[in-house]
A = this chain, B = another copy of it.
Amino acid sequence: MTPEPNPVRRSARSHRAILDATFDLAVRNGYSKLTIEAIAAAAGVGKPTIYRWWPSKGVLALESINERMGTATDFPDTGDVAADLASQIDNVVRLFCSDVGAVFKGVIAEAQGDPQVAAAVREAITEPRTRQCQARLERAVAAGQLRADIPTRMMVEQLYGPIYYRFLLGTEPLADYDAHTMVERALEGLRPRL
């Protein structure tokens, strides 16, 4: 007896194939040349299947990036806030210098002229990680290691602004980013006055 085709399993397989094709094509040809047509062809699905799950190329590319970031941007908590931030920032820099970063750059570029993609970047990438960073910083505030009178969102901008500056403007090679020194410098203004 031939087994019935399993639509759930087939659907999961298509979902996976679309995400992989998106990332592979974006890396190979550059994000700006990525099209839903090419993704559909490479994944062996029809365009409507893609649009059933994702509203646009930008949102699809973001998911393919996000799953590849995995736990690399999680914040450790060893009790030493400076060391924890520097180690997380090292991971971010490594990601940004990889294929993930190359695709992310393309999505950020598209976001400059497309408010929907810009909102998706914030929802999928920056907001969740900002909140994770704030949680780590708030534990340091509670431990008396950081000033309680500075909003942690402002601290996040000080810590991550210089990374995005190099990443998107290329003023210096991002790979040379000295996370340890930059974190130390930023924290000097954030420590409680004695």
**Set B108, B164, B190: member contacting A112, Cβ < 8 A:** B108
Residue-by-residue, is A140-163 near B (CB-CB < 8 Å gives 1, otherwise 0)?
000000000010011001101111
A30 at the interface (CB under 8 A from B): yes
Tell me whether A8 is interfacial, beta carbon within 8 Å: no
Q: Assembly of this chain: how many copies?
A: 2
A27 interface residue per 8 A CB criterion: no
A7 at interface (Cβ–Cβ under 8 A)? no
A41-49, A56-64, A65-73, A180-188 - the one binding chain B:
A180-188
A31 on the interface (CB 8 Å rule)?
Answer: yes
User: Once the chains are docked, how many angstroms separate the CA of A106 from the CA of B182?
Assistant: 29
A170 within 8 A of B: yes
Question: What CA separation (Å) do A171 and B155 show in the bound complex?
Answer: 13
Residues on the B chain within 8 Å of A157, using CB? 162, 165-166, 171-172, 182
Question: Does B122 lie within 8 Å of A170, measured CB to CB?
Answer: yes
| Interface contacts beyond A157-B182, A188-B188: sample of 14 additional A-B pairs, CB < 8 Å, sorted by A | A30-B113, A105-B112, A108-B109, A109-B109, A122-B170, A150-B185, A154-B182, A158-B182, A160-B161, A161-B165, A162-B162, A185-B190, A186-B186, A186-B189
A-B contact pairs, 30 of them (CB 8 A): A31-B113, A106-B113, A108-B109, A109-B109, A109-B110, A109-B111, A109-B113, A121-B169, A122-B169, A122-B170, A126-B169, A126-B171, A127-B171, A157-B166, A157-B171, A157-B172, A157-B182, A158-B158, A160-B161, A161-B161, A161-B162, A161-B163, A165-B165, A168-B168, A185-B189, A185-B190, A186-B189, A187-B189, A188-B188, A188-B189
